[in-house]
Amino acid sequence: MKPIGHHILQSLVACTVVCALASPLHAWEPNAKDLDAAVGSGEFSGYFGKLTGWLSQKAPTDPSKITQVAMETLLKDPVVSIALAQRQFIGKVGPDKLAAFAKMDAESKPFLSWLLKNPKALDLYLLAATPLSIPVREDNSYQLSTDVLDRWKKIFAADTESKDGMPLRIAIATALRPPGTGSPGSGQQKVHSPPFQRYTYFKKAHANNELFPSFNNLSVWELQFVVCSGASEADLTWGREMIKNWRPDYLNGEKVVDTTSCVWRRNSPVSHVDYKTVLDGGGKCGPRSSWSVFICQAFGIPAIGVGQPAHACVAYKSLTGWQVAYGRGWDASRLEGMGGREFVASVESRERKEVFSMVEHLRWLASTLPAKEPRSMAVLAVGQALAKSLPGSNRDLTASEKADEMDADSGALATVKPVTAKPTAPAPPVKVAPGVMHIEGTEFFETGGITVWGGEPRVTVLDSYNGGKQLHFQQGMASSWVGYKINVPETGVYEMTLKVAAVNSGQSLYIRSFGAMLPVKQATASNVWRGDTKGLGPQLAVDHNPSTRWAVNGGVDNASIELDLGKPSRISTIMIDERAYEKVSKFILEYKAGTEWKTILEGTTIGSSYVKDFPAVTTQNVRLTTLDCSGSVGGPTFWEISVGTVQDGHAWVPVPWTAGLWTTTKPADIRLVKGAQTIWIFAPYQRGVAFKSFELKPKGK
């Protein structure tokens, strides 16, 4: 007997299929009994074949009658809809693989029974699992993994609330993209959280209103790019608290991605063990991209790391749609295995939810019919026409948010706008011990700053998240300051503490009071910047106001200022503030004895807080002369010069690295003189310190 030829075998198989479709199978209807039998036995091939045969008869036999209206009517039939989803699910997983999954353990069959009978859950999963790429969707050769089902099954078994609503959507998203499957980068956990832990975390965060309102409207596909974060749950919680404490203005408009402007663009001096250290130490484009993705995900904003030529940045879903930020535009981007232009087109097709769902369901229906035959081609044509009927995007694919901040660190300013993050209540009254002076940060009488890379030269007032106000010493300033008028009850040493929040380590604030030093009757100078004696004259270096200064013409190294104390006075100390423009490399201090100038002391650098005691002398005239300046620019400038026998109160207060959360500094001793005085707080160049209040307590009491 001769073996049957291959072409004869094919004909027999085809004939068998045709006969089967023409046989009593046409009387079969999808039913719970057959589905339960398939799940119970773990054998899905027969049920899959029956679904295929039944669905193939639902499409009109005449291809010309396969119209959009006809298809919409057909797909609205709930029996057709669930049968189509069941067939798509079984087919994409594969009957054999699904059978193996069903027999895996005692939890598998109850889960599959629930899922295959739940049209909403099945549809949410199938649409979310559909590949993003339009060409891949049209090719339709992708498969679904039982690994996803295993993760989802465990969530389903552990929490009955995961069967509906937002918990259901979070459960599906977490099963599809568990923690650590998002953009890799600095700050990630070494061992990622189990899927159920991540599901529970975001479920609770949503229930407690800890996430941005836009989270409520995310599709399951978008939710994947939140729950997949490689950050620990502790870091995600910290990220939200840090913003609420340190920079509540970034909550406005859900623009937390802009905190990337506060991350150094340099080689990090600290190891990135979590996202606190990423923010502290900074890093070049990779860590900044990682930070951008993390802080968006912490608040429930979908975000993806983006690769660009010799660069990395972020794509995230803003209130107006997906944006690329801190790099070049979409045309230069690559993410999710595709170019930025394809990503935008694919995402926009998904965002038209009704059309996207209709097109995919038509694709499912077409797969029940013989491939490339008139009816299947007609069904696909309806879907293609629907997809093409949508208007194209008008967005500029070359544009990027914050494109000017993609290159090497230039210290660009993160603009602080005094906007309301949320309706704020008055701050609750602060209870202090008797004798303690409590001063709110907003009670200042003057503020100022020296810009380096632009921005408003002042300390900014922000609405605090939980009511009241707070100050922010902005980054990008060579120096910024704020002044307070206080009434000191008794002369003596006071312990000063400040309530602060800082995201970078190694920072400090300089405190200076005025009142103990001698008044100056008149000041004269050998040189004034462009003759501007009103705005930059020597009198401004002795006015006890650190917002004003005396400046010398550029290129001049040798310049002097003479202080006339009005009468012979005893002096034994000097305080000099050469803040920000620290140019002096050699100087001399002299006093006048009769007609002769005599040296008190000589020195080199001065800086922002020069203090020096010397053997007491009595004189009416004191002269400070710069003899040399570093570099070739010259032109020294002085904010304050004062002499006396007792130093004004002054101290450097280390700012603890609080990772952006509020804390109180350790006490710093500062000597104050009885009566009406001023206290100034200076922030040298740093990355932004939040400041709430300060207290003064008599030492020893």
pLDDT-derived band at 412, boundaries 50, 70, 90: very low
DSSP 3-state of 103: coil
C-alpha closest to that of 366 among 52, 607, 41: 52
The pLDDT assigned to 455 comes to: 67
Residues 6+ apart with CB under 8 A from 242: 279, 503, 659, 660, 661
Contacts of 256 (CB under 8 A, 6+ apart): 243, 250, 295, 296, 298, 299, 301
Per CATH, is 419-513+652-701 categorized as 2.60.120.260? yes
What is the mean pLDDT of the segment spanning 407-436? Answer: 58
Q: Which residues, including other chains, have CB under 8 Å from residue 174's CB and lie 6 or more apart?
A: 151, 155, 195, 198, 199, 202, 227
Beta strands in 362-491 (DSSP E): 437-440, 446-451, 460-463, 469-473, 477-488
Number of Cβ within a 10 Å radius of residue 348: 17
- Kindly report which listed range (25-39, 518-532, 604-618) carries the lowest average pLDDT score: 25-39
Task: For 248-280, give one letter per residue: b (16+ CB within 10 A) or e.
Answer: bbbbeebebbbbbbbbbbeebebebebbbbbbb
Residue 677 has pLDDT above 50, yes or no: yes
Please give the average per-residue pLDDT across 79-102, as a whole number. 97
Distance CA 163, CA 165 (A): 7
* Percent of the chain with pLDDT strictly greater than 90: 80
Greatest pairwise CA separation for the chain in angstroms? 137
Buried/exposed code over 324-336 (b: 16+ C-beta within 10 A; e: otherwise) = bbbbbbbbbbebb
Task: Compute the distance between CA of residue 553 and CA of residue 629 in angstroms, rounded to an integer.
Answer: 12
Count of alpha carbons within 13 Å of 212, Cβ hemisphere only? Answer: 28
- Residue 104 · residue 153 · CB < 8 Å: no
Q: In this predicted model, what pLDDT tens digit does every residue of 203-242 receive, in sequence order?
A: 999 999 999 999 999 999 999 999 999 999 999 999 999 9
At 551, is the secondary structure helix, strand, or coil? strand
According to the model, what pLDDT value does residue 4 have? 38
How many H helices and E strands in the chain?
Answer: 20, 25
C-beta atoms surrounding 667 within 10 Å: 17
State the Cα–Cα distance between residues 401 and 384, nearest whole angstrom.
Answer: 33
Q: For helices 108-116 and 78-93, give the axis angle rounded to 10 degrees.
A: 140
Helices 353-366 and 340-351, axial angle in degrees (round to 10): 90
pLDDT tens digits along 437-491: 999 999 999 998 888 766 678 899 999 998 999 999 988 788 899 999 999 999 9
Angle formed by the axes of helices 95-102 and 108-116, to 10°?
A: 130
Query: By C-alpha distance, which of 105, 108, 76 is closest to 93?
Result: 108
Characterize the bridge pairing of strands 334-335 and 550-551: unpaired
How far apart CA 494 and CA 677 sit, in angstroms, is: 14
- For residues 443 and 423, give the distance between their C-alpha atoms in angstroms, rounded to a whole number: 21
Tens-digit pLDDT profile for residues 155-191? 999 999 999 999 999 999 999 999 999 877 899 999 9
Ranking 53-67, 398-412, 487-501 by mean pLDDT, the lowest is 398-412
Query: Region 106-128: what's the mean pLDDT?
Result: 97
Q: CA–CA separation, 213 vs 416, rounded Å?
A: 23
- pTM for the structure as a whole: 0.88
* Mean pLDDT (whole number) for 672-681: 93
Domain residues of the chain, as ranges? 419-513+652-701, 517-647
Mean predicted confidence (pLDDT) in 402-422: 56
What is the mean pLDDT of the segment spanning 71-100?
Answer: 97
The second-level CATH assignment, the architecture, of 517-647 is Sandwich (2.60)
Res 336 pLDDT > 90: yes
C-alpha distances in Å from residue 14, one per residue of 8, 21, 370, 375, 695:
10, 11, 11, 17, 89
Encode 551-571: b = buried (16+ Cβ within 10 Å), e = exposed.
bbeeebbebbbbbebeeebeb
Among 282-286, 579-583, 596-600, the range scoring the smallest mean pLDDT is: 579-583
pLDDT of residue 267: 85
Q: Contact at 8 Å (CB) between 151 and 195?
A: yes
pLDDT confidence of residue 279: 95
Judge whether 60 and 70 are in contact, CB under 8 Å.
yes
Contacts of 424 (CB under 8 A, 6+ apart): 463, 464, 467, 468, 469
In the beta sheet, which residues pair with residue 559?
626
Please indicate whether the domains covering 419-513+652-701 and 517-647 agree at the CATH topology level.
yes
Give the lowest-confidence range in 48-52, 144-148, 410-414.
410-414
Cα gap 175→194, rounded to integer Å = 10
- How far is 299 from 213, CA to CA, in rounded Å? 9
Give Cα 671 distance to the centre of its chain. 42
Q: Please give the average per-residue pLDDT across 582-592, as a whole number.
A: 95
Across 83-100, average pLDDT: 97
